[in-house]
Chain A
């Protein structure tokens, strides 16, 4: 293990802001994309039912 405590881990040798800023941004972006894409597919599947009903 490289760190002896959670505090040290979060501090990241003084670079915590940059390291966690990067990882956080990446995680957020990827999660948002995954959610949006899921929603898009669900909406597309949902729209099938509508076109069936009307067409």
Chain B
């Protein structure tokens, strides 16, 4: 098969490709995960200031990174699908959203559990936490909007517009909250101060990031395949699958 840049724009080819690659992504996720956890718990030392509580960082930071990355990727593919009328791109964007939302939730949840023992509080309204919280609302809004519209094309395009508006807004929100916090001196403790990164800690964190990244591909590819079948059920190639 000749691979061109737009080869997988065809739902049928994406479906086949994703089906082939997904098991590999699961395997990679498992491998990175086990290795990362091993390095993170067996090798990385206890932190001087935070004790063993800091080990939450091995999920918290990768989850936060994924939550932001997935939103950007979602906005990209959604916009692509809208501008170029590319159905697969739109379907892929919709497949990304729940996974992004879940990582955002994990980031918030683990952040709270990390903050309580180390800084004495479950939550502060600093820029990062507030923006992450609003990011969760943006994901939920995207999902709610695309689910509320029956026509797939209108749903995808409306979602694309919303996602683009969100991409513009999130930096604005982040800076406004950061600015707001600097004016309220002493009102907040920064919950973002991580322990000084010993190289083993960094390694574990990166391994977990790759784990989450592989996991995302596996889950999103599977969801995208399901969406392809749901939305393309009238097409010949789909009917051919059953036989």
Contact = CB atoms under 8 A, between A and B. Distances in A.
Interface of A: 1-2, 9, 12-15, 18-19, 21-23, 25-26, 29-30, 33-34, 37-38, 40-41, 43-45, 47-49, 51-52
A26 B229 contact: no
27 contacts: A2-B44, A2-B45, A2-B46, A13-B51, A15-B52, A18-B113, A19-B52, A19-B113, A23-B59, A26-B59, A26-B106, A29-B106, A30-B215, A33-B98, A37-B223, A38-B222, A40-B222, A40-B226, A44-B225, A44-B226, A44-B227, A48-B233, A48-B239, A51-B233, A51-B239, A52-B239, A52-B242
A47 B59 contact: no
A39 B22 CA distance: 15
Contact of A29 (B42, B102, B116, B242): B102
Interface of B: 41-46, 51-53, 55-56, 59-60, 63, 98-99, 102, 105-106, 109-110, 113-114, 116-117, 215, 218-219, 222-223, 225-227, 229-230, 233, 238-239, 241-242
Given A2-B46, A41-B226, 15 more contacts: A15-B53, A18-B114, A18-B116, A19-B52, A19-B56, A21-B113, A23-B56, A25-B110, A25-B113, A26-B106, A37-B222, A40-B226, A43-B226, A47-B233, A49-B242
Contacts of B46: 2, 13
Contacts of A40: 222-223, 226
Contacts of A21: 113
**Which of A1, A2, A26, A51 has the most CB atoms of chain B within a 10 A radius of its CB?**
A26
Contacts of B98: 33
The binding surface of chain A is classed by DSSP as helix
Contacts of B52: 12-15, 19
A22 B113 contact: yes
Nearest to B42: A1
Given A13-B46, A15-B117, A18-B114, A41 B59 contact: no
B55 A19 contact: yes
Given A13-B53, A47-B229, A33 B102 contact: yes
A19 B44 CA distance: 15
A34 B102 CA distance: 11
A34 B55 CA distance: 24
Nearest to B106: A26
Q: Report the 10 A-B pairs with minimum CB-CB distance, sorted nearest first.
A: A13-B52, A44-B229, A15-B53, A22-B110, A41-B226, A13-B51, A40-B226, A44-B226, A12-B52, A48-B242
Contacts of A1: 42
